[in-house]
Every structure is written in structure tokens, then in C-alpha cells.
């Protein structure tokens, strides 16, 4: 197991360097001259040239990248061109909000999708409900589902607040009531995805010899489903979680914008709209490293569950 983890770590560093360099080069080309953004669109060529010299924007891309990544590794992502705040000071308060939102959505989707689809064996109604919810979750766009939830539970019923975010310190009940609809909006897609993947693998595992032996021993379908099939059928779901973290951040962008939640997604939307070069780069680096770390953790979890993967 130690050798497997070491091999994965050896791939992690070069991949991180390549991907962050591609990110830096793409953003710098896409957003244009940082000096022009700092000084405004009406800045003179002489002023732009002076800023380029002072901040090193006239250096080759690879040299700019080395300066940026060196500072970023110490937590210094520069200052926002729009608000002139330190980028790290803007991002740090938003990280726990997005993490909590996405963690609840993934955990809820994982538990309900595995539980319902495992119970669906021999229970036609549960299987139909799970399939219906899966199709709705995958096909409905986040912004549409969020708008429907707001209309039903806030406008019509008045049960939940329309938008906003209340921290834990200001009251647990208020925090949870503001959390319900955003989590359900993110949960819907992942419940559908997890269910589809798990059901496909479940059918394949159900045909294995050891499952038929378990049935022949007289074990109940529920016990066979949870004890023998689930531990093996869940492996593709773990893989999907690892590779879909980037998509989850994309979903958080829409969800946080719809519900006015001050997380990373909403910050990213504002940075793109204002061509805020340092914030976009910092957000891109966070997403890239998060995806790579989650992939690494997913590989380790899979290797621990299935020893054949270590080979």
C-alpha cells in the first residue's frame, strides 16, 4: 500500500506544475494586459509600459509563472484589481462556506443514493421513485431547480428564507434554514449521477458467483444487497466523486449566485465579470489542486477497498 501511495505522489507534483502553468498562461492570454486592467481602459501606453516594467508583466510567461507560483505557495496571491484587497483575505472567508455547502450535498447524495438503490431490490415502488428522482436531478439545471425551490418554499409557503447566508455563530436554526435549499439544489444532480452509476455496477456485481452463493444460503435480499453487493458496487461511485469535484465547484457557482451565498462560486463569478486577474488565478489554482487531491484520495480509498488496484 505504501508503494502505491508513493507512486501516486510521484505523479502528483509534475501534474500540478503542468496544469497550473497551463492555467496561468491561459488566464493571462484570455484576460489581456494586467497593467491595462489596473490603470483602466483609458490609460496611456507610457503608463502601461511603466506598470509592466515595475510588476514584471513584460517578462516571458514562464518567468511570470515562476514568480506567481512562488508567491502563491506562501499564500500570497497578490491584490485584487477591483477592490485592491489581498486576494487571500477575500478567498479565506469564502472557503468554509463552499466546503460546508458541497460536503453536505455530497454526503446526503451518497447516503440516499446507495441506501435507496440497495433497498430497491424486490421493492418496485422504491426503484421507481429512485429512478424518477435520478432523471429529474440530472436533467434539471441548477438555476431552474433553485428558482423552483425559492418559489415553492419561500414565496408560496413561506417556510424558508429566500436567499442569504447566516453563520453558525449567529444561530444554528437560522443557519440550517438558509442551508436547506442550496444543499438540495446541489444534491439533486449528484443523487442522480451516483444512482445511475451505482445501479449499473450493482447489476454487474449481482451476477457474480459469490452473490449467487449468498442467495443460495438463504440470506435475505436486503442483507445480500448491503453486505455483499454494496462494498463492491460502490467503487465506481468513489471514483466519480474524485473526478467530479471541479464540476461540483461549477454547480456551486450557479447555486451560490441564485441564493446570494458569499462562497467561492459567487466570488469567482464577480472576478470574471470584472476581469479580476489575481482572483481568477487564485480560484483556478484552488479548483485544480482540489481536484487533484480528491483524485489522489479516491485512488487511495479504492486501493484500500480493492487490493487488486494496488498492482
The whole-number pLDDT of residue 311 equals 59
Both 82 and 194 in a single domain? no
> Which helix (H) or strand (E) segment is 262 a member of?
none
Both 80 and 149 in a single domain? no
CB–CB of 212/282 below 8 Å? Answer: no
Both 85 and 207 in a single domain? no
**pTM of model > 0.85:** no
Q: What is the mean pLDDT of residues 177-205?
A: 82
pLDDT in tens, 85-125: 888 888 888 888 888 888 888 888 888 888 777 776 656 66
| Residue 183, burial from CB neighbour count under 10 angstroms (0-12, 13-18, 19+) | buried
Asked if residue 164 has pLDDT above 70, the reply is yes
Interacting residues of 103 by C-beta distance below 8 A, sequence separation 6+: none
The whole-number pLDDT of residue 283 equals 82
Residue after which a domain boundary falls, among 91, 126, 142: 91
Q: What is the spatial distance between Cα 33 and Cα 27, in angstroms, rounded to a whole number?
A: 10
The whole-number pLDDT of residue 54 equals 66
pLDDT in tens, 251-302: 677 787 788 888 887 788 777 777 778 888 888 888 777 777 777 777 777 6
The whole-number pLDDT of residue 37 equals 63
Both 187 and 61 in a single domain? no
The whole-number pLDDT of residue 306 equals 62
pLDDT in tens, 63-88: 878 888 888 888 788 777 777 788 88
Q: What is the mean pLDDT of residues 231-239?
A: 75
Interacting residues of 240 by C-beta distance below 8 A, sequence separation 6+: 193, 194, 197
The whole-number pLDDT of residue 1 equals 66
Per-residue confidence at 161, pLDDT binned at 50, 70, 90?
Answer: confident
The whole-number pLDDT of residue 165 equals 81
270: cell is: 464577480
The whole-number pLDDT of residue 308 equals 61
CB–CB of 102/286 below 8 Å? Answer: no
Asked if residue 3 has pLDDT above 80, the reply is no
| Residue 186, burial from CB neighbour count under 10 angstroms (0-12, 13-18, 19+) | buried
pLDDT in tens, 14-49: 888 888 888 888 777 666 666 666 666 666 677 667
Both 127 and 65 in a single domain? no
Asked if residue 140 has pLDDT above 70, the reply is yes
Both 34 and 151 in a single domain? no
The whole-number pLDDT of residue 125 equals 62
Both 158 and 101 in a single domain? yes
- Residue 218: give the domain boundaries: 94-261
Residue after which a domain boundary falls, among 219, 237, 261: 261
Q: Does residue 269 lie in a domain region?
A: no
Domain count, the chain: 2
The whole-number pLDDT of residue 126 equals 67
Per-residue confidence at 230, pLDDT binned at 50, 70, 90?
Answer: confident
Angle between helices 277-305 and 2-31 (to 10 degrees): 160
More confident residue, 57 or 197: 197
Both 254 and 130 in a single domain? yes
Amino acid at each position: 500500500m505504501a508503494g502505491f501511495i508513493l507512486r501516486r505522489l510521484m505523479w502528483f507534483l509534475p501534474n500540478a506544475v503542468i496544469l497550473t502553468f497551463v492555467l496561468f498562461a491561459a488566464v493571462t492570454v484570455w484576460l489581456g494586459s494586467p497593467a491595462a486592467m489596473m490603470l483602466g481602459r483609458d490609460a496611456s501606453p507610457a503608463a502601461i509600459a511603466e506598470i509592466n516594467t515595475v510588476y514584471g508583466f513584460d517578462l516571458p510567461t514562464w518567468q511570470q509563472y515562476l514568480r506567481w507560483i512562488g508567491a502563491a505557495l506562501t499564500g500570497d496571491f497578490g491584490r485584487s484589481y477591483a477592490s485592491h484587497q489581498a486576494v487571500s483575505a477575500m478567498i479565506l472567508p469564502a472557503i468554509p462556506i463552499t466546503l460546508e455547502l458541497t460536503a453536505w450535498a455530497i454526503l446526503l447524495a451518497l447516503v440516499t443514493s446507495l441506501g435507496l438503490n440497495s433497498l430497491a431490490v424486490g421493492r418496485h415502488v422504491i426503484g421507481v421513485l429512485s429512478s424518477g428522482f435520478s432523471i429529474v436531478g440530472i436533467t434539471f439545471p441548477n438555476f431552474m431547480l433553485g428558482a423552483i425551490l425559492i418559489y415553492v418554499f419561500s414565496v408560496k409557503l413561506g417556510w424558508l428564507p429566500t436567499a442569504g447566508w447566516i453563520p453558525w455563530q449567529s444561530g444554528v436554526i437560522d443557519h440550517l434554514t438558509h442551508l436547506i435549499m442550496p444543499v438540495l439544489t446541489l444534491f439533486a444532480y449528484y443523487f442522480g449521477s451516483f444512482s445511475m452509476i451505482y445501479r449499473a455496477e450493482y447489476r454487474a456485481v449481482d451476477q457474480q458467483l459469490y452473490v449467487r452463493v449468498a442467495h443460495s444460503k438463504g440470506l435475505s435480499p436486503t442483507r445480500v444487497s448491503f453486505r455483499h453487493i454494496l462494498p463492491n458496487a460502490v467503487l465506481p461511485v468513489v471514483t466519480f466523486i474524485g473526478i467530479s469535484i471541479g464540476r461540483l465547484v461549477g454547480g456551486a457557482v450557479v447555486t451560490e449566485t441564485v441564493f446570494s451565498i458569499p462562497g467561492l462560486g459567487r466570488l469567482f463569478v464577480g472576478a470574471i465579470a470584472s476581469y479580476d486577474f489575481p482572483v481568477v488565478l487564485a480560484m483556478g489554482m484552488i479548483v485544480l489542486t482540489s481536484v487533484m487531491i480528491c483524485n489522489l484520495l479516491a485512488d487511495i480509498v479504492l486501493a484500500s477497498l480493492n487490493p487488486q488496484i494496488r498492482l
